[in-house]
C-alpha cells in the first residue's frame, strides 16, 4: 500500500488580561481614574499538502493520499476596571475598560495526484479536509463610583470587540485608497471615499474602509483647542450603515483532485476510487461588555454609563473535489467512482452589552447607553466535478456537492438608568445582527464520456464483456 499523509494541528492558546483599580479618598475632593485595556492578535497561516506528483506506481494494497488541517485558536481576552472616589465635598470616579481580539486562520489544504500513473488492486482514496476552529471569548467590565458630601459623579464605559476570520485576511487589500490616516488629513469625506488606518490607530490599524453613508463628513474642533480634529480617527468603523471594510478576498482552499493522470483499479474484488473534500470549519465567538456607574451626592448626583459590544465573524472557503484532464486510459475502476465535496461551515456568535447607571441626590441625573452589534458572513464555493476525463466504472459514478453552512447569532443590549431625586434618567439600547451566506454550489461532468461500462449503473463488479453492444467510451 502507498500512503501520503499530511496532518496539521497548529494551535494557539492565548490569554490577554488587564485589570485596573483606582481609589481616591479626599477630605474635600476625591478624584479617581482607572483604565484597563486588553488586546490579542493571533494568526495561523500556511499550507497543508499531501501529493503524488510525477509518480508511476504499482501498488497491490491500494493508494491513500490524505491532507488534514485542524488549525485551532483559543483566545480569552479580559479587561476590568474599577474606580472609586469619595470626597468630603465632591467625589469623582471615572472608569474605562476595553478588550479586543483579532484572530485569523489562513490554511490551504490539498490532497492531490498530479501527472502520475497508478495501477492497484485496492481502493484509491484522495481526501482533503479542514476542521479549523476559532474559539474567542472577549469580556470587558467597568465600574465607576463617585460619592461626595455635596457632589457625586460616577462615569464608566466598557467596550468589547471580537474579529474572527477564517479564509479572510483583513489586511489584504490590493486596491488604491483616497486617504491614509497619519499621512493625509482630509477636511471632508464623501460617499465612496476610501481610507486606510495608520499603524498607530488602535485595534483596526492598517485596515481599509469605504465610506458608504450619504451625509458628507467634515472636520470639527470638538475640544475647542484651536486645532481641527483628525476626521478619520473620529469615525466609528463598526457602523455598517456608514462604513464597509474592503478586503481582497483570498479564500482558504480545500481541494482533493486528480490532474493529468491515469488510475487503474482491477482485481478479484471490486474496489473504488474516492475523491473527497470536506470543510467543517467553525467560529465560536462570545462577547460581553458591562458597565456600571453610580453616584451619590448630598446635593447633586450624576452618573453616566456606556457599554458597547461587537463581533465580526467571517468564513470564506473554496471546497473542491475533482478529476481534471486525464491521460492514457483515464480512470478505469472495477467498483465505484465517487467525487464528493461537502461544506458545513458554522458560525456561533453571542454578543451582549449591559449598561447600568444610578444617581442619587437632591438633584440627580442618570444616563445609560448599551449597544450590541454582530456581523456574520459565510462565503465561498463547493464544487465536485469531472472535466476532460475518461471515466470507466464497473459500479456507479457518483458526483455530489453538499453545501450546508449555518449561522447562529444573538445580539442583545440591556440599558438601565436610575435617578433618585429631582432630575432625570435616560436609558437607550440598540442591538443589531447582520448575517449573510453567499455560496456557490456546483456538481457536474463536462467534456467527459462517462458510464459506458456501468451497464445501467448496477452496483456490482462486472465482466466488461457483459457490456458488448453498448457504446465504448473507455478510450
Average pLDDT, consecutive stretches of 10 residues, N- to C-terminus, the chain (475 residues):
90 90 83 88 91 92 94 93 88 91 92 95 95 94 90 91 88 85 90 89 81 91 82 85 79 92 90 96 95 89 91 93 92 94 96 93 90 92 93 92 95 91 87 92 79 40 37 34
Instruction: Kindly give, in sequence order, each residue whose CB lies less than 8 Å from that of residue 50, ignoring residues fewer than 6 positions away.
Output: 4, 5, 6, 65, 66, 67, 110, 111, 112, 128
Q: How confident is the model at residue 247, as a pLDDT? A: 76
Rounded CA-CA distance 370/413 in Å is 6
Residue 300 · residue 330 · CB < 8 Å: no
Q: Is 179 exposed, middle or buried (0-12, 13-18, 19+ CB in 10 A)?
A: middle
Q: How confident is the model at residue 250, as a pLDDT? A: 66
Q: Which of 166, 129, 165 is nearest to 320 (CA)?
A: 129
Secondary structure letter of residue 216 according to DSSP: P
Q: How confident is the model at residue 453, as a pLDDT? A: 40
Q: How confident is the model at residue 249, as a pLDDT? A: 62
Residue 454, CB-side half-sphere exposure with 13 Å CA sphere:
18
Q: How confident is the model at residue 448, as a pLDDT? A: 65
Rounded CA-CA distance 248/172 in Å is 6
Distances (CA, A) of 307 to 17, 101, 115, 142: 18, 17, 59, 9
Q: Which of 290, 347, 305 is nearest to 141 (CA)?
A: 290
Rounded CA-CA distance 322/299 in Å is 77
Secondary structure letter of residue 4 according to DSSP: E
Amino acid at each position: 500500500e502507498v500512503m501520503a499523509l499530511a496532518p496539521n494541528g497548529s494551535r494557539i492558546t492565548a490569554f490577554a488580561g488587564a485589570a485596573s483599580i483606582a481609589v481616591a479618598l479626599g477630605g474635600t475632593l476625591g478624584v479617581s481614574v482607572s483604565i484597563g485595556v486588553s488586546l490579542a492578535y493571533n494568526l495561523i497561516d500556511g499550507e497543508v499538502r499531501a501529493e503524488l506528483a510525477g509518480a508511476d506506481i504499482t501498488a497491490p494494497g491500494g493508494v491513500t493520499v490524505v491532507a488534514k488541517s485542524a488549525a485551532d485558536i483559543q483566545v480569552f481576552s479580559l479587561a476590568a476596571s474599577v474606580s472609586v472616589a469619595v470626597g468630603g465635598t465632591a467625589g469623582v470616579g471615572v472608569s474605562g475598560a476595553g478588550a479586543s481580539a483579532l484572530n485569523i486562520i489562513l490554511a490551504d489544504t490539498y490532497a492531490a495526484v498530479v501527472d502520475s500513473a497508478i495501477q492497484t488492486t485496492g481502493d484509491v482514496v484522495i481526501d482533503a479536509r479542514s476542521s479549523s476552529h476559532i474559539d474567542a471569548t472577549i469580556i470587558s467590565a467597568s465600574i465607576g463610583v463617585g460619592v461626595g458630601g455635596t457632589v457625586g459623579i460616577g462615569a464608566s464605559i466598557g467596550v468589547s470587540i471580537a474579529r474572527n476570520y477564517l479564509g479572510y485576511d483583513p489586511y489584504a487589500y490590493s486596491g488604491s485608497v483616497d486617504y491614509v490616516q497619519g499621512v493625509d488629513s482630509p477636511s471632508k469625506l464623501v460617499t465612496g471615499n476610501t481610507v486606510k488606518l495608520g499603524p498607530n490607530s488602535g485595534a483596526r490599524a492598517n485596515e481599509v474602509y469605504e465610506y458608504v453613508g450619504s451625509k458628507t463628513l467634515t472636520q470639527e474642533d470638538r475640544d475647542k483647542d484651536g486645532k481641527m480634529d483628525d476626521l478619520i480617527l473620529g469615525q466609528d468603523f463598526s457602523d455598517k450603515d456608514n462604513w464597509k471594510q474592503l478586503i481582497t478576498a483570498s479564500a482558504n482552499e480545500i481541494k482533493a483532485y486528480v490532474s493529468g493522470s491515469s488510475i487503474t483499479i482491477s482485481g478479484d474484488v471490486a474496489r473504488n476510487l474516492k475523491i473527497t473534500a470536506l470543510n467543517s470549519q467553525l467560529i465560536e465567538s462570545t462577547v460581553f461588555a458591562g458597565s456600571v456607574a453610580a453616584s451619590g451626592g448630598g446635593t447633586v448626583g450624576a452618573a453616566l454609563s456606556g457599554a458597547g459590544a461587537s463581533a465580526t465573524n467571517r468564513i470564506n472557503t473554496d471546497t473542491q473535489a475533482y478529476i481534471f484532464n486525464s491521460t492514457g486510459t483515464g480512470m478505469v475502476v472495477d467498483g465505484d467512482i465517487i467525487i464528493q465535496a461537502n461544506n458545513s461551515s458554522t458560525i456561533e456568535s453571542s454578543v451582549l452589552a449591559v449598561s447600568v447607571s444610578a444617581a442619587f441626590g437632591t438633584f440627580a441625573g442618570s444616563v445609560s447607553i448599551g449597544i450590541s452589534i454582530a456581523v456574520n458572513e459565510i462565503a465561498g464555493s463547493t464544487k465536485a466535478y469531472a472535466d476532460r476525463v475518461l471515466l470507466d466504472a464497473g459500479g456507479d459514478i457518483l458526483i455530489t456537492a453538499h453545501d450546508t453552512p449555518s449561522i447562529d447569532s444573538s445580539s442583545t443590549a440591556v440599558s438601565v438608568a436610575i435617578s433618585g431625586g429631582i432630575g432625570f434618567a435616560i436609558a437607550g439600547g440598540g442591538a443589531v445582527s447582520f448575517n449573510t451566506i453567499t455560496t456557490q454550489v456546483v456538481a457536474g461532468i463536462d467534456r467527459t464520456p462517462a458510464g459506458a461500462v456501468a451497464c445501467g449503473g448496477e452496483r456490482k463488479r462486472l465482466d466488461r464483456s457483459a457490456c458488448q453492444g453498448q457504446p465504448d467510451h473507455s478510450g
